Structure 1
Amino acid sequence: MRRQLALAAAALILCAGCSAGGPAAGTEGGGTDKSGGPTATDRVRKAIDQLGRGAAGIDQVMELGDAERTYKLTVQGAFDFGADRGRLAADLSGVDIAHVDQMFIGGKVYLKPVDGLEPDRWGVIGRSDVHANHVLRAPLNDPEHVLAQLDRMKEVSAEGEEKIRGVEAVRYAGVLDHETVTLRGSERLRGQMGKARELLGDDFPVFADVWIDGRGRVVRSVLRMTMQDITSTVTTDYAALAKPVAVEAPDAGQVTPVGEVTGLLPG
């Protein structure tokens, strides 16, 4: 059984592995707080809701690897969650297309370069038409997808204060269930994770951490999975913005509709 699980994880190396340990025991869970105040789950959901109505700078690092090699993908930019607008740039070394620029405007996502198009042309696709092909990867690097997963954290507990970029914040730890891990997942991804779940006999443990500062703002989130020497970690820092996120759609003459977008860079 252990060998079968290792093989399953190896097959999912670019969509992550699974984890063998749980979050440390802390205070509060999803039920009523002993003092009658908000629970850890309440605090996390309130902070995520607040972020989901505002805007933030996005600085994300995803690390996928095993004992021999680690892939590092970065996603940086700014996103106005309330207005559904944002601009991001994703970079990954060691692949044919190592950089992708993206703009989110309402229900559309513009990106370039796109395989099959001229390098200076933007591809455009419906935001809801794209599914995640890799575990812990958001479709088209959509920051709202990460918030949707964090909002569904279970077994949430407060784990004490830590400094994040010089700011005191409380870390809240929890887990994501199978349905949340495969949220907006492609048929291929759901099939792979379903088989891995059958081998394990339970959900693959996926752990989530959210750091919330004294003003109730999410300043960092981490999603992580590990199995033997195969690991996947997604760390996202959220910075408060003083100005609205300005994004304009490319000129129509520079845009080509695309039916699908593949590869690790766009998720």
Structure 2
Amino acid sequence: MGQDFTTTVKGSFDMKADHGRLRVSLAQTGTSSDAAVPLDEIFHGSTVYFRMPEETNGDTGWRSTSRDKAEVHALLRAPLNDPEFVLRQVSMAHSLTVVGEQKVNGVAARHYTGKLNHKPLLLRMVKERREKVEEPMVKIGDRLPATADVWVTKDGLITRILLVCELGGMKVSSTMNLTDMGKPVTVASPPKGAQAVPAASVGGPLVG
């Protein structure tokens, strides 16, 4: 609608132990960080805990929901901002070619670029939204304007992922940087008294 917004997600994550903590903020592009809307998230195995630390109605309590049942509500948004979901999406890219060697996040990496079809774009998307775009995407096929770029270190570790899609005059991009790999991750215990909510009820621009 003529406006650009940026969702920023930062934090630490232990992929092997399946736990991490993320800080999410949403702001209109070009505005100050003070205008951003925040969200806190704690991942513990199959459960994600989240809260709005600044809620207009004063309710800043923690909620919890199933990590595996959370759905996608917008293109190139990971459910609950799950970084493993982005890795799953890029693993579904096809027609990959080598762009060259580059230094990314302070380390040498090989840059690959490829294409995305409708399957990674619609992965775990809510039914009503998927049904609106799935058929047109399938018809477009390989001409679908969606790309995946990935940078891989000499040790075979991904250090950056860039996903881009342009449809109907709208452009969406998602960049994930993976830094400090191998550094220990310490995460607080699950919040006590968190209210459990159905995954289907969790939606909005902050949670994907």
Cα distance change, pair 224–185 in 1 and its aligned pair in 2 (3 A): same
Partner of 2:65: 125
Q: Which amino acid aligns with 1:142?
A: D
Cα distance change, pair 229–197 in 1 and its aligned pair in 2 (3 A): closer
Partner of 2:8: 74
Q: Distance in 1 between matches of 2:153 and 2:131?
A: 38
CA apart distance, 1:219: 1.0
Partner of 1:246: 186
Which runs of structure 2 are paired with 1:20-31 in the superposition (5 Å)? none
Q: Which amino acid aligns with 1:209?
A: D
TM-score (norm. length: structure 1):
0.67
Q: Which amino acid aligns with 2:41?
A: Q
Cα distance change, pair 228–132 in 1 and its aligned pair in 2 (3 A): closer
**1:239 alignment partner, SS class:** coil
TM-score (norm. length: structure 2):
0.85
Greater RCO structure (CA 8 Å; 6+ sep) = 1
Partner of 2:107: 167
Which runs of structure 2 are paired with 1:27-66 in the superposition (5 Å)? none
**1:86 alignment partner, SS class:** strand
The structure in which a higher percent of residues are helix is 1
Q: Distance in 2 between matches of 1:167 and 1:228?
A: 37
Q: Distance in 2 between matches of 1:249 and 1:118?
A: 24
Q: Which amino acid aligns with 2:106?
A: G
Partner of 1:36: none
Q: Deviations over 1:50-76 (max 9, x none)?
A: xxxxxxxxxxxxxxxxxx421111000
CA apart distance, 1:97: 8.2
1:263 aligns with 2:204: yes
1:92 aligns with 2:26: yes
Asked if structure 1 preserves the Cα contact closer than 8 Å seen for 2:73 and 2:126, the reply is yes
CA apart distance, 1:250: 3.6
Name structure 2 gaps, 5 residues minimum: 29-34
Asked if structure 1 preserves the Cα contact closer than 8 Å seen for 2:117 and 2:141, the reply is no
Q: Distance in 2 between matches of 1:78 and 1:256?
A: 24
Cα distance change, pair 211–241 in 1 and its aligned pair in 2 (3 A): closer
Cα distance change, pair 130–228 in 1 and its aligned pair in 2 (3 A): closer
Alignment size in residue pairs: 198
Partner of 1:223: 163
CA apart distance, 1:110: 0.1
**2:141 alignment partner, SS class:** coil
- One of 149, 157, 163 as aligned partner of 1:209: 149
Asked if structure 2 preserves the Cα contact closer than 8 Å seen for 1:159 and 1:172, the reply is yes
**2:195 alignment partner, SS class:** strand
Q: Distance in 2 between matches of 1:251 and 1:169?
A: 38
Percent identical across equivalent pairs? 32
Q: Which amino acid aligns with 2:206?
A: L
- 201-210 or 76-85: bigger deviation: 201-210
1:101 aligns with 2:40: yes
Asked if structure 2 preserves the Cα contact closer than 8 Å seen for 1:135 and 1:189, the reply is no
**RMSD across aligned C-alpha pairs, in angstroms?**
2.4
Asked if structure 2 preserves the Cα contact closer than 8 Å seen for 1:91 and 1:99, the reply is yes
